[in-house]
Copies of this chain bind each other. A is one copy, B any other.
Amino acid sequence: MSKKSLGPKTLALPAPVWVVGTYDAAGKANGMTAAWGGVCCSKPPCVSVALRPSRYSYDAIVQRRAFTVCVPSEKHLQAADYFGLASGRDEDKFAAADLTPVRSELVDAPYVEEFPLALECRLLHTVEVGLHTLFIGEILDVKCDEQTLTDNGEHPDLAKVRPVLYAPGSRRYFGVGELLGTAYTAGRDLVRKKP
Protein backbone atom coordinates (compact mmCIF):
# COMPACT_ATOMS: atom_id res chain seq x y z
CA MET A 1 0.00 0.00 0.00
CA SER A 2 1.25 3.43 -0.87
CA LYS A 3 0.96 6.04 1.84
CA LYS A 4 0.71 9.77 1.28
CA SER A 5 2.40 12.20 3.64
CA LEU A 6 -0.15 14.73 4.86
CA GLY A 7 2.13 16.83 7.04
CA PRO A 8 2.08 17.63 10.76
CA LYS A 9 -1.66 17.75 11.35
CA THR A 10 -4.15 16.65 13.99
CA LEU A 11 -5.60 13.89 11.83
CA ALA A 12 -6.19 11.25 14.49
CA LEU A 13 -9.40 9.34 13.73
CA PRO A 14 -11.95 9.18 15.14
CA ALA A 15 -12.37 12.23 17.37
CA PRO A 16 -15.33 12.47 19.76
CA VAL A 17 -17.93 15.23 19.72
CA TRP A 18 -18.46 16.33 23.30
CA VAL A 19 -20.01 19.38 24.89
CA VAL A 20 -18.09 20.71 27.87
CA GLY A 21 -20.47 22.18 30.45
CA THR A 22 -19.43 25.06 32.72
CA TYR A 23 -20.79 27.98 34.74
CA ASP A 24 -19.43 31.42 33.92
CA ALA A 25 -18.57 34.09 36.50
CA ALA A 26 -22.19 35.23 36.60
CA GLY A 27 -23.46 31.71 37.10
CA LYS A 28 -24.82 31.30 33.58
CA ALA A 29 -24.65 27.76 32.23
CA ASN A 30 -22.55 27.39 29.11
CA GLY A 31 -21.48 24.62 26.79
CA MET A 32 -18.62 24.30 24.32
CA THR A 33 -18.08 21.64 21.69
CA ALA A 34 -14.80 19.79 22.09
CA ALA A 35 -13.30 17.19 19.79
CA TRP A 36 -9.83 17.34 21.34
CA GLY A 37 -10.08 15.08 24.33
CA GLY A 38 -10.12 11.54 25.65
CA VAL A 39 -9.89 9.35 28.70
CA CYS A 40 -6.43 9.67 30.23
CA CYS A 41 -6.39 7.55 33.38
CA SER A 42 -8.29 4.61 34.88
CA LYS A 43 -7.47 5.30 38.56
CA PRO A 44 -8.47 7.92 39.44
CA PRO A 45 -10.82 7.87 36.46
CA CYS A 46 -9.92 10.92 34.38
CA VAL A 47 -10.90 12.51 31.10
CA SER A 48 -9.15 15.37 29.35
CA VAL A 49 -10.38 18.17 27.12
CA ALA A 50 -8.21 20.71 25.30
CA LEU A 51 -9.25 24.37 25.08
CA ARG A 52 -7.68 27.55 23.75
CA PRO A 53 -7.37 30.29 26.38
CA SER A 54 -9.49 32.56 24.17
CA ARG A 55 -12.51 30.32 24.71
CA TYR A 56 -15.13 31.65 27.09
CA SER A 57 -15.25 28.26 28.81
CA TYR A 58 -11.53 28.46 29.64
CA ASP A 59 -11.88 30.94 32.50
CA ALA A 60 -14.96 29.14 33.74
CA ILE A 61 -13.02 25.89 34.15
CA VAL A 62 -10.09 27.67 35.81
CA GLN A 63 -12.35 29.58 38.22
CA ARG A 64 -14.80 26.83 39.13
CA ARG A 65 -12.23 24.03 38.86
CA ALA A 66 -14.98 21.89 37.39
CA PHE A 67 -16.57 20.89 34.11
CA THR A 68 -18.79 18.22 32.65
CA VAL A 69 -18.28 16.17 29.52
CA CYS A 70 -21.68 15.78 27.91
CA VAL A 71 -22.12 13.29 25.06
CA PRO A 72 -24.74 14.31 22.49
CA SER A 73 -26.57 11.71 20.48
CA GLU A 74 -26.71 11.98 16.70
CA LYS A 75 -30.19 13.48 16.98
CA HIS A 76 -28.54 16.41 18.77
CA LEU A 77 -26.14 17.07 15.90
CA GLN A 78 -27.39 20.58 15.17
CA ALA A 79 -27.03 21.64 18.81
CA ALA A 80 -23.65 19.93 19.14
CA ASP A 81 -22.30 21.83 16.15
CA TYR A 82 -23.87 25.08 17.31
CA PHE A 83 -22.13 24.81 20.69
CA GLY A 84 -18.87 25.01 18.73
CA LEU A 85 -19.93 27.96 16.58
CA ALA A 86 -21.29 30.45 19.10
CA SER A 87 -19.71 31.88 22.24
CA GLY A 88 -21.25 32.08 25.70
CA ARG A 89 -19.83 35.61 25.82
CA ASP A 90 -22.48 36.69 23.35
CA GLU A 91 -25.45 34.45 23.88
CA ASP A 92 -27.19 31.91 26.06
CA LYS A 93 -26.40 28.77 24.10
CA PHE A 94 -28.60 26.47 26.18
CA ALA A 95 -31.59 28.74 25.50
CA ALA A 96 -30.81 29.06 21.79
CA ALA A 97 -30.50 25.29 21.43
CA ASP A 98 -33.58 24.69 23.59
CA LEU A 99 -31.61 22.49 25.97
CA THR A 100 -31.73 22.26 29.75
CA PRO A 101 -28.72 22.76 32.01
CA VAL A 102 -28.84 20.55 35.12
CA ARG A 103 -26.72 21.61 38.09
CA SER A 104 -24.39 18.80 39.11
CA GLU A 105 -24.63 17.92 42.78
CA LEU A 106 -20.98 16.88 42.79
CA VAL A 107 -19.12 19.60 40.91
CA ASP A 108 -19.71 23.26 40.15
CA ALA A 109 -20.80 22.73 36.56
CA PRO A 110 -23.97 21.90 34.63
CA TYR A 111 -24.69 19.01 32.30
CA VAL A 112 -27.13 18.78 29.42
CA GLU A 113 -30.30 17.02 30.49
CA GLU A 114 -31.32 16.02 26.96
CA PHE A 115 -27.98 14.39 26.08
CA PRO A 116 -27.82 10.70 26.98
CA LEU A 117 -24.50 10.70 28.86
CA ALA A 118 -22.65 13.09 31.15
CA LEU A 119 -19.40 12.89 33.13
CA GLU A 120 -19.03 15.19 36.12
CA CYS A 121 -15.43 16.25 36.58
CA ARG A 122 -13.36 18.23 39.03
CA LEU A 123 -10.24 19.81 37.61
CA LEU A 124 -7.21 17.76 38.57
CA HIS A 125 -4.38 18.94 36.28
CA THR A 126 -3.80 21.77 33.84
CA VAL A 127 -1.20 21.18 31.14
CA GLU A 128 -0.05 24.00 28.86
CA VAL A 129 0.61 22.16 25.61
CA GLY A 130 0.72 25.00 23.09
CA LEU A 131 -2.19 26.82 21.51
CA HIS A 132 -4.39 24.53 23.59
CA THR A 133 -4.38 23.88 27.30
CA LEU A 134 -5.25 20.39 28.41
CA PHE A 135 -7.65 20.20 31.33
CA ILE A 136 -7.57 16.84 33.06
CA GLY A 137 -10.69 16.21 35.10
CA GLU A 138 -11.28 13.51 37.67
CA ILE A 139 -14.60 11.84 36.88
CA LEU A 140 -16.65 11.90 40.09
CA ASP A 141 -19.74 10.36 38.55
CA VAL A 142 -21.26 9.34 35.25
CA LYS A 143 -24.94 9.91 34.55
CA CYS A 144 -26.61 7.94 31.77
CA ASP A 145 -30.19 7.93 30.51
CA GLU A 146 -31.89 4.70 31.56
CA GLN A 147 -32.99 4.08 27.96
CA THR A 148 -29.42 4.10 26.65
CA LEU A 149 -27.98 1.56 29.08
CA THR A 150 -26.93 -1.95 28.09
CA ASP A 151 -29.52 -4.65 28.77
CA ASN A 152 -27.96 -5.43 32.16
CA GLY A 153 -28.31 -1.75 33.11
CA GLU A 154 -24.65 -1.43 34.02
CA HIS A 155 -23.04 0.50 31.18
CA PRO A 156 -23.85 3.02 28.48
CA ASP A 157 -24.63 1.13 25.26
CA LEU A 158 -22.75 2.75 22.38
CA ALA A 159 -25.44 1.59 19.96
CA LYS A 160 -28.12 3.36 22.03
CA VAL A 161 -26.18 6.46 23.06
CA ARG A 162 -25.29 6.94 19.39
CA PRO A 163 -22.54 9.53 19.90
CA VAL A 164 -21.27 11.58 17.00
CA LEU A 165 -17.81 11.03 15.50
CA TYR A 166 -15.74 13.86 14.11
CA ALA A 167 -13.27 13.54 11.27
CA PRO A 168 -10.61 16.27 11.56
CA GLY A 169 -9.37 17.46 8.18
CA SER A 170 -12.52 16.72 6.22
CA ARG A 171 -14.55 18.26 9.08
CA ARG A 172 -17.36 15.77 8.72
CA TYR A 173 -19.58 14.14 11.30
CA PHE A 174 -20.44 10.45 11.25
CA GLY A 175 -22.65 8.16 13.26
CA VAL A 176 -21.93 4.84 14.93
CA GLY A 177 -22.18 1.68 12.84
CA GLU A 178 -22.39 -2.04 13.47
CA LEU A 179 -21.26 -4.02 16.48
CA LEU A 180 -17.93 -5.56 15.43
CA GLY A 181 -16.89 -7.67 18.40
CA THR A 182 -15.94 -7.88 22.04
CA ALA A 183 -12.75 -6.47 23.48
CA TYR A 184 -10.22 -8.85 25.02
CA THR A 185 -11.88 -11.61 23.00
CA ALA A 186 -11.66 -10.69 19.31
CA GLY A 187 -7.87 -11.17 19.25
CA ARG A 188 -7.53 -14.25 21.44
CA ASP A 189 -6.73 -16.65 18.63
CA LEU A 190 -3.57 -14.70 17.91
CA VAL A 191 -2.16 -15.00 21.43
CA ARG A 192 0.65 -17.44 21.01
CA LYS A 193 0.28 -20.54 23.14
CA LYS A 194 3.23 -20.91 25.48
CA PRO A 195 4.99 -24.29 25.13
Contacts and interface: CB of A to CB of B under 8 A. Distances in A.
Given A142-B7, A170-B158, A171-B184, A127 B132 contact: no
A12 B47 contact: yes
A136 B37 CA distance: 12
A42 interface: yes
Given A6-B155, A11-B144, A37-B38, A174 B180 contact: yes
B176 A80 contact: no
Q: How many residues of A sit at the interface, in one of the four size bands?
A: 35 or more
B125 A127 contact: yes
Contacts of A182: 171-173
A147 interface: yes
B13 A161 contact: yes
26 contacts: A3-B145, A4-B145, A4-B146, A8-B44, A10-B42, A10-B46, A12-B119, A14-B163, A39-B50, A41-B50, A74-B180, A77-B186, A81-B186, A82-B186, A83-B187, A84-B187, A85-B184, A96-B192, A154-B170, A156-B169, A164-B180, A165-B165, A173-B181, A173-B182, A173-B183, A174-B179
